[in-house]
């Protein structure tokens, strides 16, 4: 990673930072609840949550219940999960509600363009239009993602649907920025578990705990993906005054989760 790469994507210090804890249960399943990795994960989450005025740690359970509490739905003919994360969310919602008896994944994500912006890229051999071409006759469609931040990914998929199908579509996410969710609602109804008010990045921001320590968070063209800890300037912005300790914890946990073979 070059300094130029990092400088192209500056992060302000948000008034409120939401951290989705998608790590504690995952690490416990993979390594065992009494493992060193699980202990280090719990320590990291507790450290993040220590700043109660600025950082809010979200659990899957509370977000799921917030989605369900907004009203029931008849089962959709097809539910499309955006990427692996969206598919996991769709599976979890279906286990709780029965809304999504047929779930499929669309490989779509955002990637840094190297100029301070992002572009949508397919993670499959087929491009997005080819991945959704057979959905046109679907009687009811759910589109599911974990987070709506800028809305780029969800908007890209919804905007690619034929207008008649979009009229039969309902979008779901566990969390997101209220302004971005409102923009999507102009395309189709949206149910979000947590919809945080405030200006994107400056006032409110969202990250996944897994992205802090696993090299899955930052996609770059033609280069390996990065974890957030590999952008120390971002940690300094998100966790002012505490970033040095958090960075060290993230590096330690990364060596346990992604050991160099």
184 occurs within a structural domain? yes
Same domain? For 173 and 108 the reply is yes
Q: Nearest 5°: phi and psi at 79?
A: -115, 130
45 occurs within a structural domain? yes
Specify burial of residue 93 (Cβ count, 10 A radius: 0-12, 13-18, 19+).
buried
Q: pLDDT value at position 10? A: 87
Q: Is the pTM of this model over 0.85?
A: yes
Same domain? For 74 and 184 the reply is yes
Same domain? For 14 and 101 the reply is no
Same domain? For 181 and 207 the reply is no
Same domain? For 184 and 224 the reply is no
29 occurs within a structural domain? yes
Handedness of CA 54, 38, 83, 143 (dihedral sign): negative
Q: How far is CA 204 from CA 16, 132, 197, 231, in A?
A: 5, 32, 7, 19
Same domain? For 9 and 49 the reply is yes
- Residue 120 token pair: 């949508």
- Residue 77 token pair: 């003919």
**How many domains are contained in the chain?**
2
Q: Which residues contact 87 (CB under 8 A, 6 or more apart)?
A: 81, 103, 104, 105, 144
Mean pLDDT split into 10-residue runs, the chain, 261 residues: 63 97 97 98 98 97 97 98 97 98 97 93 95 96 97 97 97 98 97 97 97 96 96 97 98 95 54
Same domain? For 118 and 162 the reply is yes
Residue of 31, 51, 12, 19 lying closest to 257 (CA atoms): 31
Q: pLDDT value at position 27? A: 98
Neighbours of 163 (CB within 10 A): 7
Task: Tell me the residue range of the domain where 121 lies.
Answer: 70-193
32 occurs within a structural domain? yes
Same domain? For 183 and 230 the reply is no
Same domain? For 242 and 148 the reply is no
Cα-based angle 174, 176, 9 (whole degrees, multiple of 5):
130
Query: Domain holding 118: CATH number?
Result: 3.40.50.2020
64 occurs within a structural domain? no
Could you give the CA distance from residue 30 to residue 38 in angstroms, rounded to a whole number?
9
Could you give the CA distance from residue 37 to residue 250 in angstroms, rounded to a whole number?
11
Same domain? For 55 and 125 the reply is no
Q: pLDDT value at position 260? A: 78
165 occurs within a structural domain? yes
- How would you classify the pairing of strands 169-177 and 190-196? parallel
78 occurs within a structural domain? yes
Q: Which residues pair with 17 in a beta bridge?
A: 55, 205
Same domain? For 204 and 149 the reply is no
Give the DSSP per-residue string, 202-261. Answer: TTEEEEEHHHHHSTTSEEETTEEEE-GGG-HHHHHHHSTTTHHHHHHHHHHHHHHHS---
Same domain? For 125 and 185 the reply is yes
Q: pLDDT value at position 261? A: 54
65 occurs within a structural domain? no
């Amino acid at each position: 990673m070059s300094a130029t790469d990092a400088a192209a994507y500056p992060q302000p210090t948000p008034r409120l930072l939401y951290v989705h804890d998608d790590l504690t249960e995952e690490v416990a399943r993979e390594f065992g609840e009494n493992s060193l990795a699980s202990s280090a994960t719990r320590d990291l989450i507790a450290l993040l949550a220590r700043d109660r005025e600025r950082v809010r740690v979200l659990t899957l359970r509370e977000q799921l219940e917030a989605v369900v509490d907004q009203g029931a739905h008849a089962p959709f003919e097809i539910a499309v999960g955006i990427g692996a994360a969206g598919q996991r969310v769709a599976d979890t919602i279906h286990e709780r509600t029965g809304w999504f008896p047929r779930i499929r994944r669309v490989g779509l994500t955002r990637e840094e363009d190297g100029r301070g912006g992002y572009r949508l890229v397919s993670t499959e051999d087929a491009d997005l239009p080819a991945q959704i071409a057979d959905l046109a006759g679907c009687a009811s469609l759910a589109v599911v993602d974990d987070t709506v931040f800028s809305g780029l990914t969800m908007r890209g998929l919804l905007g690619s649907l034929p207008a008649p199908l979009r009229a039969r579509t309902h979008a779901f996410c566990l969390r997101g920025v209220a302004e971005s969710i409102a923009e999507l609602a102009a395309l189709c109804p949206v149910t979000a578990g947590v919809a945080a008010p405030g200006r994107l990045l400056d006032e409110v921001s969202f990250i996944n705990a897994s992205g802090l320590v696993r090299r899955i968070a930052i996609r770059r063209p033609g280069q390996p993906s990065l974890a957030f800890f590999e952008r120390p300037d971002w940690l300094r912005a998100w966790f002012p005054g505490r970033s040095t300790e958090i960075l060290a914890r993230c590096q330690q946990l990364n060596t346990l989760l992604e050991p160099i073979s």
